[in-house]
């Protein structure tokens, strides 16, 4: 399907992803990791087809899976 192919090839700018990341954190803070506050610095799209989003945080891979899904749902809703 051409719609799926277009979605896989789409490039989202780092500025737009960071804007969505800031909004997501403002709406719903990520849960603490080992009783420490998780700080998210930036998001970027590392690859297309399939898209790979990278979110930089203060403690490495510390995001709760539920929060990751929450953020991905926001990205899919905004960019399809």
Q: E strands within 1-80?
A: 40-47, 52-57
Q: ∠ CA 29-35-41 to the nearest 5 degrees? A: 45
Concatenate the DSSP letters of all residues of 6-28 into one string. HHHH----HHHHHHHHHHHHHHS
pLDDT of the residue at 6: 82
Total residues found in the chain within this entry: 80
Residue pLDDT tens, the chain, 80 long? 788 888 888 999 999 999 999 999 999 999 999 999 999 999 999 999 889 999 999 998 899 999 999 999 999 999 98
pTM, two decimal places: 0.89
Contact between residue 21 and residue 39 where contact means Cβ atoms under 8 Å apart: no
């Amino acid at each position: 399907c051409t719609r799926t192919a277009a979605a896989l090839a789409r490039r989202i700018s780092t500025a737009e992803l960071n804007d969505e990341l800031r909004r997501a954190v403002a709406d719903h803070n990520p849960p603490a990791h080992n009783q420490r506050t998780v700080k998210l610095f930036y998001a970027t799209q590392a690859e297309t087809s399939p898209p790979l989003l990278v979110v930089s945080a203060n403690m490495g891979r510390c995001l709760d899976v539920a929060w990751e899904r929450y953020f991905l749902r926001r990205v899919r809703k905004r960019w399809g």
